[in-house]
Amino acid sequence: MMKAKKEKTKMSSAPEGETRCKQADDAVFRTTPDGIMILVPEEGTVHLLDEVGSRIWDICSEPVSASQIADVIQSEYEVDGTRVQRDVDGFLQRLLEMGALVEVV
Amino acid sequence: LQFPVQIAGFSVNVECQDRGLANYLSRELENYEGGDGGDATARISLEFVEQNHDLQSENSNVTLIRHPFGPDILLDARSNPESLEVHARVIGAGEEITSYPEELYSFLATQLFTLLLQHLESNGKAHVLLVHACGAASEGKGFLFAGASGSGKSTVAARLKKMPSVTLLGDELIALAQHGEGGEVQMYSFPVVSDISRAEISNIGVPLEAIFFLSPGEATSCIRADTAHAAADLLGVLIPPVSAGPADVGLGEKQFAGSMELLMDEAVKLSATVPCFHLSLSLDDEPWDRILHDEGQKGENQDE
């Protein structure tokens, strides 16, 4: 598992024109000491987020772009930037499909 | 007919006006008889109606249940401070029904007991949950072996009942009750069994020591589950509350989400309170001494 640095990174501002997303108002989720559970009513399933996924979910409490999230994760977990961006894009896409995140204009 | 029974640590007076259902209940509740009926009264009546004359829309307490193995049932359940009143109307749909099958009595009994737990909860008697699980007690400690149908609950029950040190509480549904905020979670037998006979279970209450999520495996392994995975697995085995509204088949998406939200809260709380394990069980192994003693101990130590 990737180790996070102790301090949380301050968010950079979103590049102009980049789509931002945030937690859907009707998203149903619960926090446990080991991660976050998100309910997908349409599928009748629950998705578990690991430590990094839970951190991204936390960041998405406010409108935020994929590159802003990737910057935070790269900084906090000291991982390769290209891979982080790809992983964050895929993760956000999945949560958007589930209806847990919504795009913000 | 009326008789007092002990369910989930409560003494309940059960009253039934239908002779067939009453006979079924008194037989099924043989192990549960006792007490003074002082905690609640549960009344159930049964009536045949030729058609569903829109009874459902007249009354928000009525739920239409499309019973998969028999006629549809309109269940009218009212929880008053003094008593739980359940009135079941069996819908004939043009056909006269002269006798009811055993499955219908079994289904109604399960509904009645489930509603009874909710009634006790809504009257502040205790916080009660139902879990799909086999339950066993050993040395005064309770162990849940939880899983969906086909996960091995009955297999575990069949093997545990051979152990002299183990008392079986059930192989299908187990009640969990918390008496008072922050109190110990007690597990109790619930009067619904699958493959074992009534005579093989004991109606006792023991503190819940550990929860094992069952899965079949090539080799036996028992791994401590983190709280997130434990909560997610609990969601799959906790019984959702019976729909109180005029729902038709199943729950609508909003009701489902509301019901699941309540269960998510329960699952998160329970996973943080009780040590949970993923138990993969090979049919060739008899790992019970290790599981009921060492793993329980491990749970205790990790919690300290």
For A33, the closest of B227, B235, B267 (CB atoms) is: B227
The structure's pTM equals 0.81
User: By CA distance, what is B271's nearest residue in A?
Assistant: A32
Residues of A in contact with B253 (CB under 8 A): 41-42
Give the model's confidence band at A37: pLDDT under 50 very low, under 70 low, under 90 confident, else very high. Answer: very high
Mean pLDDT within A85-99: 93
Whether residues B228 and A42 touch (CB distance < 8 A) is answered with no
Nearest Cα of chain B lies from the Cα of A51 at a distance, in angstroms, of: 11
Residues of A in contact with B257 (CB under 8 A): 26, 28, 39, 41
User: In the prediction, which pLDDT does A30 show?
Assistant: 92
Task: Evaluate whether ipTM surpasses 0.85.
Answer: no
User: In the prediction, which pLDDT does B246 show?
Assistant: 32
User: In the prediction, which pLDDT does A97 show?
Assistant: 92
User: In the prediction, which pLDDT does B251 show?
Assistant: 41
Nearest Cα of chain B lies from the Cα of A21 at a distance, in angstroms, of: 22
User: In the prediction, which pLDDT does A41 show?
Assistant: 74
Whether residues A44 and B232 touch (CB distance < 8 A) is answered with no
Residues of A in contact with B235 (CB under 8 A): 37, 46
The pLDDT tens digits of the residues spanning A6-23 come to 567 777 776 777 889 999
For A37, the closest of B232, B253, B272 (CB atoms) is: B232
User: In the prediction, which pLDDT does A4 show?
Assistant: 61
Mean pLDDT by 10 residues, chain B (304 residues): 88 91 88 86 87 57 67 83 87 72 84 85 80 94 90 89 92 86 86 81 93 86 92 87 39 57 87 92 77 65 41
Residues of B in contact with A32 (CB under 8 A): 226-228, 231, 268, 271-272
Mean pLDDT score of chain A? 86
- To test the contact with chain A by mutation, choose from B213, B235, B251, B259 the residue with the greatest count of A C-beta atoms within 10 A, namely B235
- To test the contact with chain B by mutation, choose from A26, A34, A45 the residue with the greatest count of B C-beta atoms within 10 A, namely A34
User: In the prediction, which pLDDT does B252 show?
Assistant: 47
Altogether, the residues listed in chain B come to a count of 304
For A34, the closest of B228, B235, B254 (CB atoms) is: B228
